[in-house]
Structure formats: C-alpha cells, structure tokens
Structure 1
Amino acid sequence: MRHRRQFILSAAALAVAASLPLSAAAEAPAKIGFVYVSPIGDAGWTYQHDEGRKEMEAALGNKIETRYVESVAEGADAERVIREFAASGSKIVFATSFGYMNYVERVARQFPNVTFLHATGYKSAKNFAPYNARFYEGRYLNGVIAGKMTKSKVLGYVGAFPIPEVLQGINAFTMGARSVNPDIEVRVIWANSWYDPGKEREAAMTLISQGADVVTHHTDSTATVQAAEERGVYAFGYHSDMSKYGPKAQLTATTHHWGEFYTRTVNEVLAGTWKPESVWGGIKDGMIKLAPMNPAVPEDVQAMVRDLEGRIRDGSFHPFTGPVVDQAGTERLAAGAVMDDATLGRMDYFVQGVSSRLPSSR
C-alpha cells in the first residue's frame, strides 16, 4: 500500500510540474567549454583567460556550467578536445590560442548549433568568430618606459612565433622606445613555443648577455621576468602582473582582461542575439591595462605614460601612426596616417630599430 501511495504522489507531482509554465521549471545550466594551450598556473596567458572564466561564472551564476582542459597542444589533440566539448553538450566553446583556428573551423562546420569563439585568429563563419585584444597598445607604452630607463640602449624581446600579433607587439614596443630615444636597438630571440619556461629563460639570458638591460616577452611563462630579476636588469611582464616574480625587475606589465567579454558574449548567445563579429578590444574597452608601475620609474615618465594611455583611450593617439618604416628602409605608412586594422592584421615585417631578422622561411 505504501509503495502504491508513493507512486500516486509521484505521479501527481509530475502532473503538477508538467502543468507549470516553462519559466517556472528549473532550466539546466548552459555548458561552456574552454580550451587552454598552457597550464593555468598563477600568471600568464592561460591564467588570465581562466580569471575571465571565473569572473563570468560569478556574474552568471547557475545559468552556466563551465569546463576546461589545460595544456592542449596546437594540433590533432586540440581538434579532439574541441570536438569532445561540442559533442558532450557544450553550447559555447572558447578556444584560446592562435593555432586552434583551423581546428575550430573544422569542428564548427560539424556542429552548426554550437557557438565557437577563437582567440587571436581571423577566420569566421555563421557559428564561429574570432576575438582578440590590442596588445600593441600596452606594448607601445612599455616601450616608452624602456626607452627612458635603458642605459645600454639595447632592449631584449623573447617571442613565441613570428605571426602578426607578435610582430605588432615587437614593433609597437620598438616605436615607443625610439619615440623617446632614437638610438634604441631591439633584439629578438624566438622560443618557437607559447609555453616553454626553459627555452624562454635561455632566450632571456642570452639577450641579457648581449647587453640588453631591459627585456620583455610574448610567451606564456614568467621565466623572462625571473631571469631579469636574477641578473639585475629591468623587465616588463606580459599577460599578467608578474611583479611577485620580479619585484625589482618588473617596471610594469601589459595585462589582458577577458571577463567582461566572456560574460557579455555568453549572455548574447543565451539570448539568441549573438552575431559572428570579430572583436578586437583595447585600452578603451578595458581589455588591456597596465600593471602598477615600479617606483623605480621616475614620476615624469609615469606622467608621460599616463598621458599617452589616456590619449589611446580617447582615440586621439594610435601607436601605429606614420611614418612607419621597415628594416629595409621602405615606408610602410606615410607620415600622419593611421594604420587600419586590416593592415595591422597582415603585419609581416620588423620596423627600423629592430636589429634581428625574421626567419628566412617567411
């Protein structure tokens, strides 16, 4: 009798639930997947994306459920992870490295009802779009500080791969430095990896041994800042504030902030209003910020940088304002002209002031 009564009560409860409007029924949270190219750690590229994920979780609460896989190589493994997220019910997949682009494109065609966002790429489709930050804005400001702080007039830069976003940063850093110190020379060593602390450290140490008294990097680990701290030279962190790894060395850092973008994008997808538009946000959008400046930076230099930062924010100054001249002496942008986004996205050269050469395969 007791079992029959329980069944009747359960059936009644189901009937009541079925009669409720959809809005009254609890909806399952939307699944969202993140693919990370390096370990999360406590600083760096992936760390900043994961901080953005957490910020989004705090903002959206039980509307979403996030998952992530870290240290995913840019190859067949990336395609497998992206596909598994889509096949297991993810409504949105964020793939956070340049080398994931073609794999995202392939999987997006197979899952037309899933929305895919790809960091730093350039391809798009109906359910697939790129997003990026204007790293070069912070790099120009770092360059101005470097130009004022260097004594050797040699600056060092550890790069991952010679792709447009990295070249934009190197060139902006060089132009910023030479705007205040035209005798500056920038030397570049490629790690050929986004995340390889050993190679990054070796490259930074080599640059320092070549006379660089200020170094920076476009790689994911803190190795360059740590090397600078060890050798008693200055550095700029990247992606994150890395001052705890180089309290004396780090002058500031170009930091990236993704939380507002992730929150806004997910809200749009859930509301059905998202469109596959390329997003490229900078200082004015809050996606690029400078970390607090080291007290070693003189007050007049800090004031100069804050003024430039404000001008970038209000649109009255663009780091790639002509003349822009490459290493061969060819004018790439006329005096007074401002480089448009399409041209920036195709950047494949070093500007004057960079003494290193691009790999011959390019």
Structure 2
Amino acid sequence: MTFMKLLASAALVAGMATAAFAESHGKTKVGFVYVGPVGDGGWTYEHNEGRLAVEEEFGDKVETVFVESVAEGPDSERVMTQMALDGADLIFTTSFGYMDPTINVAAKFPDVKFEHATGYKRADNVSTYSARFYEGRAIQGHIAGKMTESNIVGYIGSYPIPEVIRGINSAFIHARKVNPDVQFKIVWAYTWFDPAKEADAAKVLIEQGADVILQHTDSTAPQAAAQEAGNVVTFGQASDMAQFAPFPRVSSIIDDWAPYYIARTKAVMDGTWESKDTWDGIGAGMVGIGEITDAVPADVKDEALALKASIADGSYHPFTGPLKKQDGSDFLAEGETADDGTLAGMNFYVEGIEGDIPQ
C-alpha cells in the first residue's frame, strides 16, 4: 500500500512538473536591461511602462523580466548572458553603452532575439531602435527662445554622443530662430542618472544666468533645483515629469516605447521577427510632446503646436538649411535637409554654440 502511494505521489509530482514546464515553454519570455532604476521618473521609467504594456497586451502568453541600474560595460554583458541562459526569447537592451555587449552576447545565443536602443550595430539576431528626440528638442528650443529673459539657456548633457549632440543642436537652432540673442551654456554630467550630479549641474547653470534649463539626463533633480531657484523654466525629459507642472516644467518630451515593444514581441511570437533599424519620431508617435502649460504665453504655445504638426506630417525637418557648422563651414544649403546618416553620426555643433565637444 505504501509503495503504491509512493508511486502515485511520484506520478503526481511528475505530472505537475510536466505541466509547469509546458506552461513556461509555451510562454514567450521577454527580458529588459535598464541603465537606471524603474523609478527614475524619466528614461527607464518609460521603458518599464513599455514592458508593462507588453504584459497587459499578451497576458499569460508572455513572461517579462527586468534588471535595473545595470552599468554599461561588462556588468551589462553578464546580465544579458544570464537572461539568455534563463530562457529569454527576446531581450531589449535600453542604453547606448550596451551596444557592444549586446552584439557580443547575441553572437553566443543565435536563437535569442536582441533589440538595442539608440545604437547602430546590427546582426542577424540584433535589431536597433531609437526615437527622433531631436524633433521634440526643436519644439523645446522654440519655447525656450521665446521664454528666456536672460537670453541664457542651460543644457545638461549626459555623454557627448551623437544623440545628445543632435538634441543640443536642434534646440539651439530653434531657439535662435525666434531669439537671435540667445546663448546656450552646456554642462556635461557624464551620467544618465545621478540626481546629485544633475542637481549640481542645474545649479551651476542657474548661477551662470540661465533662466531656462534643458536636460538630456533622466532624473527629476534638475526640475527640483529649478523649482527651488524660482523663476527658471524646465522641460520634462523622456517622461512627462508632470509633478513639476505648471511651473517650472512647462512641457516635456515623452518617449512612448509601448507600441514598439508590443509589435516586436508579437513578431517573435508569430515567427515574423527580422533584424532591422527603426528610427521613429513625432509622426509615428514614438516621441510625444507633453502638455504645454499656461505658464507659456498663448501665442508661443500656438507656434509650438504648429511646429509640432509640421514635423509630424513631414512638411518640416528640424535640420533644414541654410545652416553652418560651428567652425563656419557649410553644413546645409538653403532648403537642404540633413540625411539620416549625417544625423546618426553628428559630432559637431552648429554655428553659434560656444565651447568644445568633449572628446
């Protein structure tokens, strides 16, 4: 009798294990590697919102996992490797500095699909994706140029990579269009997320006379520093940062990754995934413009929304000539627009921006 019970128990355990395996095997496992914490209020927060959207869209057909605050470099390679070993079918690596680690790990796991954000290296099982943040910077620049009273706009840069340089140039071009006297002061924080460093950068810029602060870093610390200073205008970065509206945050760039994450997960699920480059902007909905608050004069708000509409429908390109480079050499002739290759590798300031790009 005892022997029979043991057999029955063993059969039950085996059956449960088989069922559990079948359930997990039937799910598509999607991993996310984050450079900051999910609570950063900016870049990583929005990527995590995309992950949650995948769960909501596919329910028990998917399993998502994530690791936050992963340093760029060897740490990220270890995290990606472990995700692949743990059975991930698709891995999103969400920071520029993950590019080479993504390529390295993908070569070791040819059956796993990888998606790298903001990079440019692809492989048979590696796609790249990014948003045209510079389109949103154009709108911010327009508002900044109109709202500054000191004619000094501060810009907190993360790292001097093309994505950030494009943003600085785009904002400056459009600030100068509406205010020929505007100057940009740039502080490089050399971080994506470090609230203390970002707050210090904002304070330095404010001390230098900036009454508008733009940022390409991920925390809300510059917003808080501006709020404390008083009459300093800011813009949300990567997410709405609406807790600082209606002032100092008067608008924002919002990264909406959810549709892309859903589409690429579905492609893995139905076997149609293929390696490709995606670079979408306002028109495709990957870049959103947060509410422009009433702290912005009505006419400036109308102009900004008209600029947004013209970028969205393709009738206007933020990099349209005539434009010169910082050294005075020609960049774009009258009516000429920058091609994607030039934008993707941008390593120069446009005419009028002071200072050097760090090497």
The one-letter amino acid of 2:115's match is L
Per the TM alignment, residue 242 of structure 1 is displaced from its structure 2 partner at its CA by 1.3
Partner of 1:187: 185
The one-letter amino acid of 2:290's match is A
Per the TM alignment, residue 59 of structure 1 is displaced from its structure 2 partner at its CA by 0.6
Partner Cα distance (2:226, 2:220) in 1:
10
Matched, 1:309 2:277: no
Structure 1: which 5+ residue stretches go unaligned?
Answer: 19-23
Partner of 1:343: 342
Matched, 1:142 2:125: no
The one-letter amino acid of 2:236's match is G
Per the TM alignment, residue 299 of structure 1 is displaced from its structure 2 partner at its CA by 1.2
Partner of 2:254: 255
Alignment of 1:284-295 (within 5 A): 284-295=283-294
Partner of 1:21: none
The one-letter amino acid of 1:121's match is G
Partner Cα distance (2:214, 2:94) in 1:
22
Per the TM alignment, residue 300 of structure 1 is displaced from its structure 2 partner at its CA by 1.1
Q: Deviation per CA, 1:204-235: give whole Å up to 9, x if none.
A: 11111111110010011111111111111111
Q: Does the 8 A contact of 1:240 with 1:254 survive in 2?
A: yes
Partner of 1:168: 166
Partner Cα distance (2:239, 2:338) in 1:
27
Partner Cα distance (2:224, 2:345) in 1:
32
| Root mean square deviation, CA, Å | 2.2
SS at match of 2:169: helix
Partner of 1:203: 201
Q: Does the 8 A contact of 2:30 with 2:89 survive in 1?
A: yes
The one-letter amino acid of 1:260's match is P
Q: Does the 8 A contact of 1:225 with 1:246 survive in 2?
A: no
Q: Does the 8 A contact of 1:32 with 1:90 survive in 2?
A: yes
Q: Does the 8 A contact of 1:229 with 1:246 survive in 2?
A: no
The one-letter amino acid of 1:348's match is N
Per the TM alignment, residue 243 of structure 1 is displaced from its structure 2 partner at its CA by 2.8
After the TM superposition, list the runs of 4 or more consecutive aligned residues in structure 1 that deviate by more than 4 angstroms.
Answer: 1-8, 24-27
Partner of 1:82: 80
Q: Deviation per CA, 1:101-139: give whole Å up to 9, x if none.
A: 000000000000000000000000000011100000000
Per the TM alignment, residue 26 of structure 1 is displaced from its structure 2 partner at its CA by 9.0
Partner of 2:282: 283
The one-letter amino acid of 1:310's match is A
Q: 2:225 aligns with which of 224, 227, 232?
A: 227
SS at match of 2:100: helix
Partner of 2:112: 114
Aligned length: 352
**Identity, % of aligned positions:** 47
The one-letter amino acid of 1:190's match is W
Q: Does the 8 A contact of 1:140 with 1:319 survive in 2?
A: yes
Structure 1 residues 81 and 140: CA distance shift in structure 2, 3 A: same
SS at match of 2:29: strand
Partner Cα distance (1:348, 1:317) in 2:
23
Q: Does the 8 A contact of 1:94 with 1:117 survive in 2?
A: yes
Q: 1:67 aligns with which of 65, 68, 75?
A: 65
Structure 2: which 5+ residue stretches go unaligned?
Answer: none
Q: Deviation per CA, 1:284-307: give whole Å up to 9, x if none.
A: 111111111121111111111111
Normalising by structure 1, we get a TM-score of 0.92
| Structure 1, 94-103 or 297-306: larger mean CA deviation | 297-306
Partner of 1:269: 268
Partner Cα distance (1:205, 1:246) in 2:
19
SS at match of 1:118: strand
Structure 1 residues 264 and 151: CA distance shift in structure 2, 3 A: same
Q: Deviation per CA, 1:129-178: give whole Å up to 9, x if none.
A: 11100000000000001111111111000000010000011000001111
The one-letter amino acid of 2:293's match is N
Q: Does the 8 A contact of 1:159 with 1:219 survive in 2?
A: yes
Structure 1 residues 230 and 26: CA distance shift in structure 2, 3 A: closer
Partner Cα distance (1:214, 1:351) in 2:
20
SS at match of 1:254: strand
Per the TM alignment, residue 324 of structure 1 is displaced from its structure 2 partner at its CA by 2.1
Partner Cα distance (2:151, 2:144) in 1:
9
The one-letter amino acid of 1:345's match is A
Per the TM alignment, residue 6 of structure 1 is displaced from its structure 2 partner at its CA by 11
Structure 1 residues 61 and 183: CA distance shift in structure 2, 3 A: same
The one-letter amino acid of 2:194's match is D
Partner of 1:133: 131
